[in-house]
Structure 1
Amino acid sequence: MTALVQRAQWSVVTSDPADAAELVTRIPDVRRATVDCAVSGFSFAERRRGSDLLSLVSMASTGVVEGTVEADTAMVLFWLKSGGGAVDGDPVPTGRPVLFRHDPQHVRWDGFQLDLIRIDRTTVEQVAAERGAWHPGPIEFQPHHVPEGPTLAAWWLMVRAVAADVLRGPEEVTEEHERELTRFAAGGLLTAIPHWPVGQDQPRTAAAARFARAEAFLLEHATEQITVEDVAAAAGLSIRGLQDAFRRHHGITPTTYLRRIRLLLAREGLESGDDRSVGDVARDSGFAHLGRFAGSYRDEFGVLPRETWQAARRR
């Protein structure tokens, strides 16, 4: 008999600060929370969906939420979509994932919108051991690391896939499916933030496992004119082995993975509103053929690159 996992879900909106504080403390990793409705017309909204292995939370408030977070059974990351935030008094950047440590940390969010992801800690440690060729066990992450460029694009590629499955997928899935999706999310986290097993003197800049080397090489050279042969050679894999590894870890070929990374880089560049043209952004992101770039961008995001570029300038 196939084991099934139920994805719990709920969505709540309130104008009562006490109710909002109680809702925040229901997130498994939050030990305490207070809510200050510093403005008139206070509102708080929270939506959650997922399982003990993997879940997503969205929160928004016009007030100030403060609390203590202690990530115990899960790796917990959040990213601000708007508003202000700080962890242990240090401001956090908007639009970048922030990882909570295992020990208690103080968090403050002010007039904000944010998303949060919980990934089962044991799964992350198992995937890290496979990628890094070490024995499973506790791992450390580089403190205060903020991913940029291709590694940030790889993070958003994972988040988009996980959100599509968790938020729009069925309420009941097989345990095997949920565990594989959790492993996929763990891989996105491990790609985005440097890590190493506890007790190692120096962090590894590249994992020992061949797939991890292949992925690291691809991301490091994502904006250059590299080929599948280049990636395979850098990792000591055959072309077939490389293809199989990417399908196993990402569900797509290395060519598709590279194209989507470049597209996310291009979108970030187009949304930046800097003085580059659409063609400049495309070339800086690794696209040599501008016509193909426009078609791929439209297929991926539903708009043409110029529309994104123009919208950024109107803002």
Structure 2
Amino acid sequence: MMHRTQRQIRTDEPSVAAEALSVTHVTHGLTVEDSGEGFAFEERVRGTALLSLESTRCTGTLSGAVEPGRAMMIVWVKSGSAVVDDNPVKVGRPVLYRQDPQRFRWVDVQHDVLRIDRTIVEQVAAERGDWAPGPLEFRPRHVPEGAPLAAWWLMVRSVAQEVLQGPADVPVERERELARFAAGGLLTAIPHWPVGQHEPVMASTARFARAETFLLDHATEQITVNDVAEAAGLSVRGVQAAFQRHHGITPTMYLRRIRLLLAREQLEAGDDRSVAEIARATGFAHLGRFAGSYRQEFGELPRQTALAARE
């Protein structure tokens, strides 16, 4: 069994916040500063050495350098201003830290971090790419958009639910399986290849990776499982089994959930398009079924999301 450790701290003292961050991260030259308008810091961490999730909120300024170590560390900012290695971080987009130390500066920020065991990520990448396990390179400063970004959020929602709400003690094999699932979401979102190779046109060559890439590339089109199978050189049964193994759901369900996340992102943009126009643009041909699936997934109707975005 593995034990999911849990830590939570709230403080209005910058020195206490700095100490907490030094426990959670390997940091260099860390400074925590009060903005002068009332300092508040909160950090919550839960997980194991294979997989963990943390949330941080700070009204001051955090700066220094961070070193991921044995984990792949992916951060996404929910609000505030953030810079990594002098590059602004876009709110709502995942950013992968390099293995070596990187400078950061967070101002009045709220952000989450997902850590995945590096060896597991390399193993999953080798299986997906049909190459020998080993260190990986990722496309520098890549910001996922569209269907790959939706696939990332689909993974995060599933992982967060189990990590944050699951039991404190979990079988090692289940935790490893969940970490592999998280690794798949990362590898789908950010192009990668073995260290020492030039960036390929398509980093993943294994048949499941081809199936997943085809589905995401054509997510808003009227594709079928037969189309996915043909593109990957698999049988329909093989595609069904592969998606069940890698994502825990059928390819049809996976496609529908990707489309729903794409639709939600567009509805939250608050532009002048109608719900029907957005439904069609994201691959839904039947508005009533779209509304029902959307409510089941997000707990509200599409028009409610659209109205909230325009307020």
Normalised TM-score (structure 1): 0.97
Q: 2:55 matched to which residue of 1?
A: 58
Does residue 163 of structure 1 match 2:160?
A: yes
Q: Decide whether the 8 Å contact of 2:31 with 2:64 is kept in 1.
A: yes
Q: 1:235 matched to which residue of 2?
A: 232
Listed one character per residue, the Cα deviations across residues 88-128 of structure 1 (whole Å, up to 9, x for unaligned) are 11111000000000111101100010000100000000000
Identity percentage of aligned residues: 64
Distance 1:206 1:28 in 2: 30
Q: Decide whether the 8 Å contact of 1:25 with 1:32 is kept in 2.
A: no
Listed one character per residue, the Cα deviations across residues 52-82 of structure 1 (whole Å, up to 9, x for unaligned) are 0000010001100112111220100100000
RMSD: 0.9
Q: Decide whether the 8 Å contact of 1:195 with 1:204 is kept in 2.
A: no
Q: Which runs of 4+ in 1 moved over 6 A?
A: none
Structure 1 gap segments, 5+ residues each: none
SS in structure 2 at match of 1:114: strand
The aligned amino acid for 1:189 is L
Bigger CA drift: 125-134 or 27-36? 27-36
Q: 1:284 matched to which residue of 2?
A: 281
Alignment of 1:1-315 (within 5 A): 4-314=1-311
Distance 2:306 2:212 in 1: 29
SS in structure 1 at match of 2:273: coil
Bigger CA drift: 29-38 or 255-264? 29-38
Distance 1:206 1:244 in 2: 22
Residue 28 of structure 1: CA displacement? 3.6
Bigger CA drift: 18-27 or 293-302? 18-27
Listed one character per residue, the Cα deviations across residues 171-191 of structure 1 (whole Å, up to 9, x for unaligned) are 100000000000000000000
Structure 2 gap segments, 5+ residues each: none
Distance 1:122 1:223 in 2: 34
Distance 1:276 1:303 in 2: 19
SS in structure 2 at match of 1:212: helix
SS in structure 1 at match of 2:78: strand
The alignment covers a number of residue pairs equal to: 311
SS in structure 1 at match of 2:24: coil
